[in-house]
């Protein structure tokens, strides 16, 4: 097979290409409309503020929030840090116990580890073998001094969708705040912070065909009013929760990306589900392969598969000239250790490393999927025959 000049892109859980409609919406705010949204004495500032306000309304509407509850950040990593550290600092007199899952993104796990060094206690709940959290396990872990539960909406490696409404209801009954990292979920699946009793929710742009470097944190300010201690201090922007000059163009891009995602959500989810299922069928000509995570309760475009009997590094190396994908989280792809998500599911380190994550997206075609499947199947067969 001739090596293509550019491989097929199937790494949309790592990041997505910016939609050209998003780029077009952003362009005026780099040059023609250069105002600072905080400059309230002239036209350019008013233009920028109006654009920011519209994006804020769009984000709020997408998750059932009020515009004043949206705090813009540089991305989901900052939003997660702000939520976890900010709540811990604000509620430390009430309690110093937090709960999360072993399978969370490092942008949640690392802030939790940081808080442990400061005297907080964190309980890391294991997933079931299908990647889902058993709500009864969470219920048993809640204590009188628990102040926050953080469980991601959609896992970035295996795509499983956690039972947010059940988790939120349990937290609400125990008067514990509930935060969810929804970086992979916003615009892809229905989310409603009221129905799901979510108190804090992290958003990013680059997982939904928007620009990198922009995100948001939803902070509930009604029933209950959630306090978050700021982690950045300066000009007092964003209700004094997150200081810093607002990047108007990126905020416009985020708002546009989410608006497009919501408008096209139902049709795109069905299209991606069909492509994902077709890919899984094509791969099943191989024996000893394992689908990671719940077979139905998952993101439409995410497929994580482990291939027994092959070396993980050789598998990835054999596929990469033809298909751009990863074995797990892009944030940890340079680390030689196996995925903490897959080992939490019970995989051996060797099987965890022999895993491919297929991230299908808006611009993925049926031909892309079939060519990728042929390449993966051929690579696995070749590696197994060499043993």
Q: Is residue 352 within 8 Å of 313, Cβ to Cβ? A: no
Three-state helix/strand/coil letters over 209-259:
CCCCCCEEEEECECCCECCCCCCCCCCCCCCCCCCCCCCHHHHHHHHHHHH
Is 12 in the active site? no
Alpha-helical (H) ranges within the chain are 20-26, 43-63, 76-90, 106-117, 135-141, 164-173, 248-263, 265-283, 312-319, 340-344, 349-353, 366-385
| Collapsed DSSP state (helix, strand, coil) of residue 276 | helix
Distance CA 27, CA 252 (A): 9
Query: How far from 205 is each of 80, 135, 154, 188, 243, CA to CA, in Å?
Result: 14, 30, 15, 12, 19
Helix axes 265-283, 366-385, angle to 10 degrees: 30
Distance CA 275, CA 266 (A): 15
Residue 387 preceded by cis peptide, ω within 30: no
Distance CA 118, CA 113 (A): 9
| Max intra-chain CA distance, the chain | 73
Give the closest residue to 333 by CA, choosing from 71, 83, 1, 14: 14
**Which token pair is 63?**
């998750």
Q: To 5 degrees, how large is the angle CA 102–CA 108–CA 113?
A: 80
- For 57, list phi and psi in degrees, rounded to 5: -65, -40
| Collapsed DSSP state (helix, strand, coil) of residue 178 | strand
Dihedral Cα 280, 370, 356, 113, nearest 10 deg: -80
Q: To 5 degrees, how large is the angle CA 200–CA 170–CA 178?
A: 15
Q: Which residues are the active-site residues?
A: 331
């Amino acid at each position: 097979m001739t090596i293509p000049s550019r491989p097929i892109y199937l790494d949309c859980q790592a990041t997505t290409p910016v939609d050209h409609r998003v780029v077009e919406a952003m362009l005026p705010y780099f040059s023609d409309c250069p105002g600072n949204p905080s400059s309230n004495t002239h036209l350019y500032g008013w233009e920028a503020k109006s654009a920011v306000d519209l994006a804020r309304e769009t984000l709020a509407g997408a998750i059932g929030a009020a515009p004043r509850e949206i705090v813009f950040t540089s991305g989901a990593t900052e939003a997660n840090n702000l939520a976890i550290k900010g709540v811990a600092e604000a509620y430390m007199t009430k309690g110093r116990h937090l709960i999360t899952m072993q399978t969370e993104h490092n942008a949640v796990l690392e802030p939790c580890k940081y808080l442990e060094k400061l005297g907080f206690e964190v309980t890391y709940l294991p997933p079931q073998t299908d990647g889902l959290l058993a709500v009864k396990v969470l219920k048993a872990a809640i204590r009188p001094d628990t102040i926050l539960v953080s469980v991601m909406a959609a896992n970035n490696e295996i795509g499983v969708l956690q039972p947010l409404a059940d988790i939120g209801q349990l937290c609400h009954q125990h008067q514990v705040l509930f935060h969810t990292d929804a970086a992979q979920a916003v615009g892809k699946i229905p989310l409603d912070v009221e129905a799901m009793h979510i108190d804090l929710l992290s958003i990013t742009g680059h997982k939904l065909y928007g620009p990198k470097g922009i995100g948001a944190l939803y902070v509930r300010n009604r029933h209950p009013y959630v306090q978050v201690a700021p982690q950045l201090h300066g000009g007092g922007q964003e209700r004094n929760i997150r200081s810093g000059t607002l990047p108007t163009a990126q905020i416009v891009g985020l708002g546009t990306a989410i608006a497009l995602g919501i408008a096209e959500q139902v049709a795109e989810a069905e299209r991606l589900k069909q492509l994902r299922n077709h890919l899984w069928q094509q791969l099943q000509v191989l024996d000893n392969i394992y689908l990671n995570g719940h077979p139905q309760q998952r993101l439409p475009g995410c497929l994580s598969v482990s291939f027994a009997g092959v070396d993980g590094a050789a598998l990835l190396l054999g596929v990469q000239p033809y298909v751009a994908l990863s074995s797990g989280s892009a944030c940890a792809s340079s680390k030689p250790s196996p995925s903490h998500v897959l080992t939490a599911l019970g995989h051996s380190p060797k099987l965890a490393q022999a895993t491919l994550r297929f991230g299908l997206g808006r611009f993925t075609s049926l031909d892309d999927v079939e060519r990728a499947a042929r390449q993966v199947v051929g690579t696995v067969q070749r590696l197994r025959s060499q043993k």
